[in-house]
Amino acid sequence: MTETRINHVSVHALDLPEAFYSDLFGMTRLPAPDFGHPVRWLKVGDTQLHLFLRPGEAPANHHFALSVDDLEAVYRMARERGALDSPRVRRLPDGAAQIYLRDPCGNPVECNAPDADSLDPAVVGELVRLGGEEGARLYL
């Protein structure tokens, strides 16, 4: 048996911040089954994000990552909403760019783009260059 892809990711939500995900990333709502508690299923390319309403805090460092086609636009919108976890954009050893946001429920969301060097420093500031193991690649 071999895996073929990740089908979906589920995250904790104190409310169901569907608008956050549709506004920043263009995700669209999908019909969801009745699990006996509120859920939202959102379409992310050929994968799904499931938001499930539960009391309690979101885990501090658990996260999922999205590849985005315009990291500068996501950065600007997240900054305007106060959703940037850190204002710094990281440049990974393979040249990819990475930022972290927090959704309205406190869930960390990592956003990536393949070419950090194409980003405008006037928009995203100076990149933080990360070192690491030889061969470290975000995009396989």
Section 45-69 average pLDDT: 89
Residues of the chain with pLDDT > 90, as a percent, come to 76
pLDDT digits (tens, 9 = 90+) for 104-130: 988 899 999 999 999 999 999 999 999
Tell me the pLDDT band of 70, cut-offs 50, 70 and 90: very high
Structure tokens at 26: 């263009």
**Helix 71-81 vs helix 18-25: angle between axes, to the nearest 10 degrees?**
140
Question: Residue 67's CB: how many other CB atoms inside 10 A?
Answer: 15
**What phi and psi, each to the nearest 5 degrees, are found at residue 76?**
-60, -50
CA within 13 Å, CB half, 105 = 24
Closest CA to 51 of 20, 82, 74: 20
**pTM higher than 0.85:** yes
Work out the average pLDDT over 22-30.
Answer: 95
Q: Are 79 and 116 in contact (CB under 8 A)?
A: no
Domains by residue range for the chain, with CATH: 8-129 (3.10.180.10)
